Structure 1
Amino acid sequence: MAIKQKYVLGEVIPNSPHAVVSNLPTLTDVCAYEEKAEYVAEAMGQGYPRFVEHRWIQSLTKRMLADLDLPVVSAVVVRSLNESLRHRILGIDPAIHCHSFEQGVYGLAMDLFYFDPESDYKEAEVRLKAFVQHTGCRISSRVAEGVLRGLGCLEVESGAESGAEERINRERIGTETIVEMEDRLSRSIADLSGLQSSGSVSITASGMNAFYTAFKAMQSIQLARGRTQWLQLGWLYVDSGFILQKYLSAEETLSVEYAIGDTESILRTVESLGDSLSVVVLECPTNPFCEIADLKRIAEAVWAQGGLVLIDPSIVSLYNINCTPYADAVVTSLTKYAGHSGDILAGAVVLNEASWAYSELKAVVQTHAISLYGADLIALGASMRGAEASVERMNENTRSVVAFLKRHPKVKRVFAVSENQHERSYLKHSQALGSIVSFEVKGSMEAFYDHLQLVKGPSFGTDFTIVCPYFYLAHYDLVVDTSPQGLLNQLGIDRNTLRISVGCESVDSIIQALESAFSFA
Structure 2
Amino acid sequence: MLVESAPGSALGHDIAVGQSVPPHTAHAISVSLPKWSDNVGYEEGEKRVVDAMVNGYPRFFIHLSIRKLAKICEKKHAAPGEQAMLFPTQRLADHCRSFIERRSQLLNDPVAARLIHLLVSPETSLTNGPASISPPNSSAKRAVNLHIVLFPESAVPIAKEFWQHSGTGISSRLADYCLSILPEDVLKPSPPTSPTVVRFPGKSQNRHYATKSIGKVPSPTQPQFPPIAPPKQTPEQDTFDADLDVYVEERYGRNLPLAAASSAKRAMRRRISGVLIRDNPSDCHGVPCAGIQDVEVGPSTRGVSNVSEDDVFLYPTGMSAIWSAHQLALAALPPAKSVCFGFPYTDTLKILQKWGPGCHFFGHGTDSDLDALERMLEQESQLSPNKPPILALFTEFPSNPLLRSANLPRLRALADKYDFLIIIDETIGNFVNVEVLPYADIAVCSLSKVFSGASNVMGGNLVLNPSGRHYEELKAAQVSTFEDFYFDEDAVFMERNSRDFKRRIKVIDTNAEAVCDLLRSSSAAANAPSAVIKEVFYPKYITPEHYEHCRIKGEGTQQPGGFGGLFALTFTSSVASEVFFDNLSCYKGPSLGTNFTLACPFTILAHYAELEWAAQYGVEAGLVRVSVGLEDTASLLQTFKIALEAAEEAVRATT
Is this a same-fold pair by TM over 0.5?
yes
Q: Distance in 2 between matches of 1:317 and 1:161?
A: 30
1:109 aligned residue (145, 155, 165): 145
Q: CA deviation at 1:342?
A: 0.8
Please name the residue that 1:63 is paired with.
Answer: 72
Q: Distance in 2 between matches of 1:257 and 1:510?
A: 33
> Percent identity, aligned pairs only?
25
Task: Letter of the 1:510 partner, please give it.
Answer: L
Q: CA deviation at 1:155?
A: 4.1
Please name the residue that 1:189 is paired with.
Answer: 272
Q: Distance in 1 between matches of 2:73 and 2:476?
A: 33
1:180 pairs with 2:288: no
Please name the residue that 1:40 is paired with.
Answer: 49
Q: CA deviation at 1:501?
A: 0.4
Matches of residues 452-491 of structure 1 in structure 2 within 5 Å? Answer: 452-479=584-611, 481=612, 486=613, 488=615, 490-491=616-617
Tell me the SS of whatever aligns to 2:395: strand
1:418 aligned residue (513, 535, 540): 540
Q: Distance in 1 between matches of 2:337 and 2:604?
A: 30
Q: CA deviation at 1:27?
A: 1.6
Structure 1 unmatched ranges of 5 or more: 116-120, 166-171
Q: 1:111 to 1:29 in 2, by over 3 A?
A: same
1:328 aligned residue (424, 438, 441): 441
1:376 pairs with 2:506: no
Task: Letter of the 2:566 partner, please give it.
Answer: I
1:212 aligned residue (323, 343, 352): 323
Tell me the SS of whatever aligns to 1:128: helix
Task: Letter of the 1:254 partner, please give it.
Answer: H
Matches of residues 77-226 of structure 1 in structure 2 within 5 Å? Answer: 77-82=86-91, 85=95, 87-89=97-99, 91-92=101-102, 93-102=110-119, 104=121, 107-115=143-151, 121-151=152-182, 152=235, 154-157=238-241, 160-161=245-246, 173=256, 177-191=260-274, 193=302, 194=304, 195-223=306-334
Tell me the SS of whatever aligns to 1:76: strand
Tell me the alpha carbon deviations over residues 273-292 of structure 1, each in whole angstroms, 9 at most, x when there is no partner: 32322211111101111111
Q: CA deviation at 1:99?
A: 0.9
Q: 1:424 to 1:90 in 2, by over 3 A?
A: closer
Q: Distance in 1 between matches of 2:20 and 2:603?
A: 22
Q: CA deviation at 1:122?
A: 3.4
Q: 1:81 to 1:303 in 2, by over 3 A?
A: farther
1:520 pairs with 2:520: no
C-alpha RMSD over aligned residues: 2.7
Tell me the alpha carbon deviations over residues 410-432 of structure 1, each in whole angstroms, 9 at most, x when there is no partner: 32211101121223210224442
Q: Distance in 2 between matches of 1:63 and 1:492?
A: 45
Larger deviation, residues 318-327 vs 209-218: 318-327
Q: 1:474 to 1:368 in 2, by over 3 A?
A: farther
Task: Letter of the 1:411 partner, please give it.
Answer: I
Q: CA deviation at 1:71?
A: 5.7
1:314 pairs with 2:436: no
Please name the residue that 1:437 is paired with.
Answer: 567
Preserved CA contact (<8 Å) 1:45 1:53: no
Preserved CA contact (<8 Å) 1:181 1:381: yes
Please name the residue that 1:499 is paired with.
Answer: 625
Larger deviation, residues 308-317 vs 43-52: 43-52
Preserved CA contact (<8 Å) 2:424 2:442: yes
Q: Distance in 2 between matches of 1:379 and 1:238?
A: 27
Please name the residue that 2:552 is paired with.
Answer: 428
Tell me the SS of whatever aligns to 1:360: helix
Q: Distance in 1 between matches of 2:450 and 2:70?
A: 31
Q: CA deviation at 1:238?
A: 0.8
Q: CA deviation at 1:494?
A: 2.8
Q: CA deviation at 1:386?
A: 1.6
Preserved CA contact (<8 Å) 2:82 2:153: no
1:9 pairs with 2:17: yes
Q: Distance in 2 between matches of 1:25 and 1:413?
A: 23
Tell me the SS of whatever aligns to 1:149: helix
2:380 aligned residue (257, 269, 273): 273
Preserved CA contact (<8 Å) 1:270 1:302: no
Q: CA deviation at 1:380?
A: 0.8
Please name the residue that 1:118 is paired with.
Answer: none
TM-score w.r.t. structure 1 length? 0.88
Tell me the alpha carbon deviations over residues 249-308 of structure 1, each in whole angstroms, 9 at most, x when there is no partner: 3xx443425233434444334433323222111111011111111111211211211111
Task: Letter of the 1:475 partner, please give it.
Answer: H
Q: CA deviation at 1:85?
A: 2.3
Q: Distance in 1 between matches of 2:96 and 2:622?
A: 40
Tell me the alpha carbon deviations over residues 178-197 of structure 1, each in whole angstroms, 9 at most, x when there is no partner: 22321221121111634531
Q: CA deviation at 1:365?
A: 3.2
Q: Distance in 1 between matches of 2:436 and 2:181?
A: 42
Preserved CA contact (<8 Å) 2:599 2:625: yes
Preserved CA contact (<8 Å) 1:261 1:291: no
Please name the residue that 1:169 is paired with.
Answer: none
Larger deviation, residues 55-64 vs 372-381: 55-64
Q: Distance in 1 between matches of 2:550 and 2:434?
A: 6
1:292 pairs with 2:405: yes
Matches of residues 335-414 of structure 1 in structure 2 within 5 Å? Answer: 335-366=448-479, 367=481, 369=483, 371-408=485-522, 409-414=531-536
Q: 1:22 to 1:174 in 2, by over 3 A?
A: closer
Q: 1:416 to 1:148 in 2, by over 3 A?
A: same
Q: CA deviation at 1:359?
A: 2.7
Preserved CA contact (<8 Å) 1:186 1:202: yes
Preserved CA contact (<8 Å) 1:417 1:433: yes
Task: Letter of the 2:533 partner, please give it.
Answer: V
Preserved CA contact (<8 Å) 1:95 1:124: no
Q: Distance in 2 between matches of 1:327 and 1:389?
A: 26
Tell me the SS of whatever aligns to 2:469: coil
Task: Letter of the 1:422 partner, please give it.
Answer: H
Q: Distance in 2 between matches of 1:156 and 1:497?
A: 45
Aligned residues: 496
TM-score w.r.t. structure 2 length? 0.71
Q: Distance in 1 between matches of 2:100 and 2:533?
A: 50
Q: CA deviation at 1:339?
A: 1.1
Q: Pick the structure with greater CA Rg.
A: 2
